[in-house]
Structure 1
Amino acid sequence: MRDSNLPGPDLLKTVLEPLLEDFQYWFTRSREFLETEQLSFMSQQEQSDLLGRIKQAQEELNTAKMLFAATGGQVGIDMATLMPWHHLVKECWSVAIRFRSQQTDG
């Protein structure tokens, strides 16, 4: 008998699949941005560190997506895994906002 406290596969597919795609989109966009722009408000090391964290998150995300697909959407992802990705995306948004703000001020 299935544990009624666990989300069903339909719910996982409806919620988790688009969330993983969103993470993929933002990590890809942020990676391309950091690989093509030199940010005056970040040191080269800070920018490199952020890029490295994005690359690591992309590897983790790809693994999670493969596991999700291999199980037919039967497996969820722990919040302890999702929260650092969420914080990283927010950090990337902040960097992009600051960059755009400097572009319009200059």
Structure 2
Amino acid sequence: MLNSNLPEPELLKTILQPLLEDFQYWFERSRHLLETERIAFLDKQQQFDLLERVKQAQQEVNSAQMLFQVTGGQVGIDMAVMMPWHQLLTECWKVGMRFRSEQSHN
């Protein structure tokens, strides 16, 4: 459970920093899958478009991390900014799970 006595910048560092790191980790895994495997249930354009959206999200998360670091953790990120990242990761997870499922049945 979070300590409600933490000052706001410490609370941001406790929650936001690991969350941004998680986004980077999962986007990198998704990017690797999309760059190294042919996803048979996506046509080439769909796979390319998904990869480009992942690359764009990685750049956005990277910018947010840099801003967070430069300000010493003094800024937060609006949920309206993070929600599309979460939705994209959910889409990537579904693609990854289906890909692995289909690979295991071949």
TM over 0.5: yes
Deviation at 1:85, TM superposition (A): 0.3
Q: Which residue of 2 aligns with 1:4?
A: none
Q: Secondary structure of the equivalent of 1:39?
A: coil
Rounded Cα–Cα distance in structure 2 between residues aligned with 1:27 and 1:60: 11
Which contiguous aligned blocks of 4+ residues in structure 1 show a shift greater than 3 angstroms?
none
Q: How many residues align?
A: 100
Runs of 5+ unmatched residues, structure 2: 1-6
User: Given the alignment of the two structures, is residue 99 of structure 1 paired with residue 99 of structure 2, yes or no?
Assistant: yes
Deviation at 1:105, TM superposition (A): 1.3
Q: Which residue of 1 aligns with 2:83?
A: 83
User: Given the alignment of the two structures, is residue 44 of structure 1 paired with residue 44 of structure 2, yes or no?
Assistant: yes
Structure 1-normalised TM-score? Answer: 0.92
Runs of 5+ unmatched residues, structure 1: 1-6
Query: Can you list the C-alpha shifts for 1:80-104, whole angstroms capped at 9, x where unaligned?
Result: 1100000111111000000011011
Query: Can you list the C-alpha shifts for 1:55-90, whole angstroms capped at 9, x where unaligned?
Result: 000111111000000000000000011000001111
- The share of aligned pairs that are identical, in percent, is 65
